[in-house]
Protein backbone atom coordinates (compact mmCIF):
# COMPACT_ATOMS: atom_id res chain seq x y z
CA UNK A 1 0.00 0.00 0.00
CA UNK A 2 1.21 3.48 -0.71
CA UNK A 3 1.68 5.77 2.25
CA UNK A 4 -1.37 7.74 1.15
CA UNK A 5 -3.52 4.58 1.16
CA UNK A 6 -2.44 3.85 4.74
CA UNK A 7 -4.33 6.91 6.05
CA UNK A 8 -6.75 5.87 8.79
CA UNK A 9 -5.17 2.42 9.28
CA UNK A 10 -3.05 0.98 12.06
CA UNK A 11 0.07 -1.14 12.20
CA UNK A 12 2.40 -2.50 14.82
CA UNK A 13 5.86 -1.10 15.45
CA UNK A 14 7.22 -4.67 15.25
CA UNK A 15 5.94 -4.86 11.65
CA UNK A 16 8.21 -1.95 10.79
CA UNK A 17 11.16 -3.54 12.59
CA UNK A 18 10.89 -6.67 10.46
CA UNK A 19 10.87 -4.79 7.18
CA UNK A 20 13.46 -4.66 4.45
CA UNK A 21 14.05 -1.25 2.84
CA UNK A 22 14.42 -0.88 -0.92
CA UNK A 23 15.40 2.35 -2.67
CA UNK A 24 13.89 4.04 -5.75
CA UNK A 25 16.23 2.06 -8.04
CA UNK A 26 15.29 -1.31 -6.52
CA UNK A 27 18.50 -1.63 -4.53
CA UNK A 28 18.35 -3.01 -0.99
CA UNK A 29 19.22 -0.36 1.60
CA UNK A 30 19.02 -2.66 4.64
CA UNK A 31 16.63 -3.58 7.42
CA UNK A 32 14.76 -1.27 9.77
CA UNK A 33 16.74 -1.14 13.03
CA UNK A 34 14.64 1.44 14.79
CA UNK A 35 12.25 4.34 14.22
CA UNK A 36 12.67 7.92 15.38
CA UNK A 37 9.68 9.77 16.81
CA UNK A 38 9.17 13.44 17.68
CA UNK A 39 6.74 14.57 20.39
CA UNK A 40 4.79 16.99 18.25
CA UNK A 41 1.90 14.82 17.03
CA UNK A 42 -1.81 14.95 17.86
CA UNK A 43 -2.55 15.19 21.60
CA UNK A 44 -2.80 11.80 23.35
CA UNK A 45 -4.82 12.47 26.51
CA UNK A 46 -2.72 12.93 29.66
CA UNK A 47 0.51 12.45 27.71
CA UNK A 48 0.04 15.64 25.72
CA UNK A 49 1.42 15.90 22.17
CA UNK A 50 1.92 12.37 20.83
CA UNK A 51 4.98 10.80 19.28
CA UNK A 52 4.89 11.27 15.50
CA UNK A 53 7.12 9.10 13.32
CA UNK A 54 9.93 11.19 11.88
CA UNK A 55 11.86 8.48 10.09
CA UNK A 56 13.55 5.09 10.13
CA UNK A 57 17.02 3.99 11.16
CA UNK A 58 18.11 1.51 8.49
CA UNK A 59 21.20 -0.66 8.33
CA UNK A 60 22.62 -4.09 7.63
CA UNK A 61 22.62 -6.78 10.32
CA UNK A 62 21.10 -6.03 13.67
CA UNK A 63 23.67 -7.49 16.06
CA UNK A 64 23.86 -5.19 19.10
CA UNK A 65 21.27 -2.76 17.74
CA UNK A 66 18.81 -3.38 20.59
CA UNK A 67 21.50 -2.41 23.09
CA UNK A 68 21.80 0.96 21.39
CA UNK A 69 25.60 1.01 21.50
CA UNK A 70 25.65 1.80 17.79
CA UNK A 71 24.14 5.22 18.53
CA UNK A 72 26.34 8.08 19.68
CA UNK A 73 23.95 9.26 22.40
CA UNK A 74 23.96 5.95 24.30
CA UNK A 75 26.55 5.49 27.06
CA UNK A 76 28.30 2.17 27.46
CA UNK A 77 31.67 0.44 27.63
CA UNK A 78 33.85 2.24 25.08
CA UNK A 79 35.07 -1.02 23.56
CA UNK A 80 31.52 -2.21 22.85
CA UNK A 81 30.53 1.23 21.57
CA UNK A 82 33.49 1.29 19.14
CA UNK A 83 32.71 -2.26 17.99
CA UNK A 84 29.01 -1.67 17.38
CA UNK A 85 29.51 1.80 15.87
CA UNK A 86 31.95 0.28 13.37
CA UNK A 87 29.56 -2.60 12.65
CA UNK A 88 26.71 -0.16 11.98
CA UNK A 89 28.68 2.77 10.57
CA UNK A 90 26.75 2.53 7.32
CA UNK A 91 23.32 2.95 9.01
CA UNK A 92 21.19 5.57 7.27
CA UNK A 93 18.25 7.73 8.29
CA UNK A 94 15.16 7.51 6.08
CA UNK A 95 12.90 10.52 6.54
CA UNK A 96 9.23 9.51 6.48
CA UNK A 97 8.67 11.73 3.43
CA UNK A 98 11.01 9.38 1.52
CA UNK A 99 8.78 6.35 2.12
CA UNK A 100 6.65 5.46 -0.89
CA UNK A 101 4.92 2.23 0.14
CA UNK A 102 4.81 -0.49 2.81
CA UNK A 103 3.82 -4.02 1.85
CA UNK A 104 4.77 -7.60 2.76
CA UNK A 105 7.58 -6.56 5.09
CA UNK A 106 9.09 -4.40 2.34
CA UNK A 107 9.37 -0.63 2.53
CA UNK A 108 9.96 1.06 -0.81
CA UNK A 109 11.51 4.52 -0.99
CA UNK A 110 11.16 7.35 -3.49
CA UNK A 111 14.85 8.27 -3.15
CA UNK A 112 18.17 6.59 -3.94
CA UNK A 113 20.19 4.93 -1.15
CA UNK A 114 23.11 7.20 -2.04
CA UNK A 115 21.00 10.25 -1.16
CA UNK A 116 20.20 9.07 2.38
CA UNK A 117 22.02 10.76 5.25
CA UNK A 118 23.79 9.20 8.21
CA UNK A 119 21.88 8.76 11.46
CA UNK A 120 22.31 11.77 13.75
CA UNK A 121 22.75 11.33 17.50
CA UNK A 122 19.60 11.73 19.57
CA UNK A 123 19.48 15.14 21.24
CA UNK A 124 20.07 15.29 25.00
CA UNK B 1 4.64 21.88 26.51
CA UNK B 2 4.62 18.81 28.78
CA UNK B 3 8.04 17.94 30.14
CA UNK B 4 7.09 14.32 30.75
CA UNK B 5 9.21 12.68 28.07
CA UNK B 6 12.11 13.29 25.72
CA UNK B 7 11.16 15.31 22.67
CA UNK B 8 12.90 12.92 20.28
CA UNK B 9 13.21 9.16 20.84
CA UNK B 10 14.21 6.02 19.02
CA UNK B 11 11.25 3.85 19.97
CA UNK B 12 13.12 0.55 19.97
CA UNK B 13 15.73 2.01 22.27
CA UNK B 14 13.68 4.34 24.47
CA UNK B 15 10.28 2.61 24.73
CA UNK B 16 10.35 -1.08 23.82
CA UNK B 17 10.80 -3.52 26.73
CA UNK B 18 10.40 -0.75 29.32
CA UNK B 19 8.49 -1.62 32.48
CA UNK B 20 5.00 -0.16 32.83
CA UNK B 21 4.27 1.27 36.30
CA UNK B 22 0.66 1.97 37.26
CA UNK B 23 -0.73 4.90 39.27
CA UNK B 24 -0.10 3.04 42.53
CA UNK B 25 3.53 2.29 41.70
CA UNK B 26 2.79 -1.36 40.87
CA UNK B 27 4.36 -3.15 37.91
CA UNK B 28 1.84 -3.59 35.11
CA UNK B 29 3.78 -5.45 32.43
CA UNK B 30 6.24 -4.43 29.75
CA UNK B 31 6.07 -2.45 26.55
CA UNK B 32 6.18 -5.43 24.18
CA UNK B 33 5.04 -3.59 21.06
CA UNK B 34 3.47 -0.30 19.97
CA UNK B 35 0.30 0.51 18.07
CA UNK B 36 0.89 3.06 15.31
CA UNK B 37 -2.05 4.92 13.78
CA UNK B 38 -1.93 6.74 10.44
CA UNK B 39 -4.00 9.94 10.72
CA UNK B 40 -7.11 9.87 8.54
CA UNK B 41 -6.04 13.08 6.82
CA UNK B 42 -2.62 11.68 5.94
CA UNK B 43 0.84 12.20 7.33
CA UNK B 44 3.18 10.03 9.37
CA UNK B 45 1.84 7.55 11.94
CA UNK B 46 1.56 8.39 15.62
CA UNK B 47 2.03 6.10 18.63
CA UNK B 48 -1.50 5.58 19.97
CA UNK B 49 -1.10 2.51 22.14
CA UNK B 50 1.22 0.24 24.08
CA UNK B 51 0.76 -3.48 23.43
CA UNK B 52 1.71 -5.83 26.22
CA UNK B 53 1.66 -9.48 27.15
CA UNK B 54 2.21 -12.70 25.20
CA UNK B 55 -0.17 -11.63 22.41
CA UNK B 56 2.11 -8.69 21.65
CA UNK B 57 5.46 -10.30 22.32
CA UNK B 58 4.83 -13.29 20.03
CA UNK B 59 5.30 -11.26 16.85
CA UNK B 60 8.72 -10.07 17.96
CA UNK B 61 10.07 -13.56 18.46
CA UNK B 62 11.21 -15.74 15.60
CA UNK B 63 8.55 -17.41 13.42
CA UNK B 64 8.67 -20.72 15.30
CA UNK B 65 8.82 -19.36 18.87
CA UNK B 66 6.35 -16.61 18.03
CA UNK B 67 3.81 -19.01 16.54
CA UNK B 68 4.14 -21.29 19.57
CA UNK B 69 3.61 -18.43 22.03
CA UNK B 70 0.68 -17.03 20.03
CA UNK B 71 -0.96 -20.48 19.91
CA UNK B 72 -0.44 -21.00 23.66
CA UNK B 73 -1.85 -17.54 24.39
CA UNK B 74 -4.92 -18.28 22.22
CA UNK B 75 -5.57 -21.60 23.95
CA UNK B 76 -5.28 -20.17 27.45
CA UNK B 77 -7.04 -16.87 26.86
CA UNK B 78 -10.77 -16.83 27.67
CA UNK B 79 -11.60 -14.77 24.57
CA UNK B 80 -12.17 -16.56 21.26
CA UNK B 81 -9.75 -14.44 19.24
CA UNK B 82 -7.55 -12.71 21.78
CA UNK B 83 -5.48 -9.79 20.60
CA UNK B 84 -2.65 -8.24 22.55
CA UNK B 85 -3.48 -6.29 25.69
CA UNK B 86 -3.62 -2.59 24.77
CA UNK B 87 -2.88 0.45 26.89
CA UNK B 88 -3.95 3.70 25.24
CA UNK B 89 -1.04 6.13 24.99
CA UNK B 90 -3.40 8.76 26.33
CA UNK B 91 -3.05 7.27 29.84
CA UNK B 92 0.74 7.54 29.78
CA UNK B 93 1.88 10.14 32.32
CA UNK B 94 5.65 9.96 31.78
CA UNK B 95 8.25 8.12 29.72
CA UNK B 96 11.60 7.70 31.44
CA UNK B 97 13.53 4.53 32.34
CA UNK B 98 10.04 3.12 32.81
CA UNK B 99 6.59 4.12 31.56
CA UNK B 100 4.23 5.62 34.13
CA UNK B 101 0.50 5.40 33.51
CA UNK B 102 -2.43 7.19 35.15
CA UNK B 103 -4.62 4.11 35.68
CA UNK B 104 -4.48 1.08 37.95
CA UNK B 105 -3.06 -2.23 36.64
CA UNK B 106 -6.39 -3.88 37.52
CA UNK B 107 -8.03 -1.83 34.75
CA UNK B 108 -5.70 -3.21 32.08
CA UNK B 109 -6.34 -6.18 29.80
CA UNK B 110 -2.89 -7.59 30.53
CA UNK B 111 -3.81 -7.95 34.22
CA UNK B 112 -7.17 -9.51 33.42
CA UNK B 113 -5.44 -12.31 31.48
CA UNK B 114 -2.97 -12.90 34.31
CA UNK B 115 -5.84 -13.04 36.80
CA UNK B 116 -7.72 -15.51 34.58
CA UNK B 117 -4.64 -17.78 34.37
CA UNK B 118 -4.20 -17.52 38.16
CA UNK B 119 -7.85 -18.36 38.94
CA UNK B 120 -8.53 -20.98 36.25
CA UNK B 121 -5.19 -22.77 35.92
CA UNK B 122 -2.71 -22.05 38.69
CA UNK B 123 -5.34 -22.32 41.46
CA UNK B 124 -6.24 -25.85 40.28
CA UNK B 125 -2.71 -27.21 40.57
CA UNK B 126 -2.48 -29.41 43.69
CA UNK B 127 -0.92 -27.46 46.52
CA UNK B 128 -1.85 -24.08 45.05
CA UNK B 129 -3.79 -23.14 48.18
CA UNK B 130 -0.78 -23.65 50.46
pLDDT tens digit sequence for B19-41? 999 999 999 999 999 999 999 99
> How many domains in chain B?
1
Lowest pLDDT segment from A81-85, B28-32, B49-53: A81-85
Question: Where along chain A do its domains lie?
Answer: 4-62+91-116
ipTM, 2 dp: 0.84
Tell me: domain A4-62+91-116, CATH 3.90.960.10, correct?
Answer: no
Select from B12, B44, B88 the Cβ nearest to the Cβ of A53. Answer: B44
Which contacts (CB < 8 Å, 24+ apart) does range A98-101 have?
Answer: A98/A55, A99/A3, A99/A56, A100/A2, A100/A3, A100/A24, A101/A1, A101/A2, A101/A3
Residue B68 lies in a domain: yes
Give the chain A residue nearest B102 (alpha carbons): A46
* Domain assignment of residue B21, given as a range: 11-124
Radius of gyration, CA atoms only, chain B? 16
| Residue count of chain A | 124
Cα separation values, A100 from A64, A92, A110, A114, Å: 28, 17, 6, 17
Q: Which residues of A are less than 8 Å from B40 in CB distance?
A: 7-8
> What is the pTM assigned to this prediction?
0.82
Select from B43, B47, B92 the Cβ nearest to the Cβ of A37. Answer: B47
Amino acid sequence: MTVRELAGTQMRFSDLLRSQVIDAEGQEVGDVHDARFVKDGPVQGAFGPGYRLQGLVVGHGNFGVRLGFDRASVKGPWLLKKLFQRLHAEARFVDWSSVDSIEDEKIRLNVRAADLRLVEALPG
Amino acid sequence: MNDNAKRVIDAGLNLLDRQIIDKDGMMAGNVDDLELTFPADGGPPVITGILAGPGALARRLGPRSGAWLESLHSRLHPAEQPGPARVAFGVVRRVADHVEITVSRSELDVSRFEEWVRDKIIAKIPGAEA
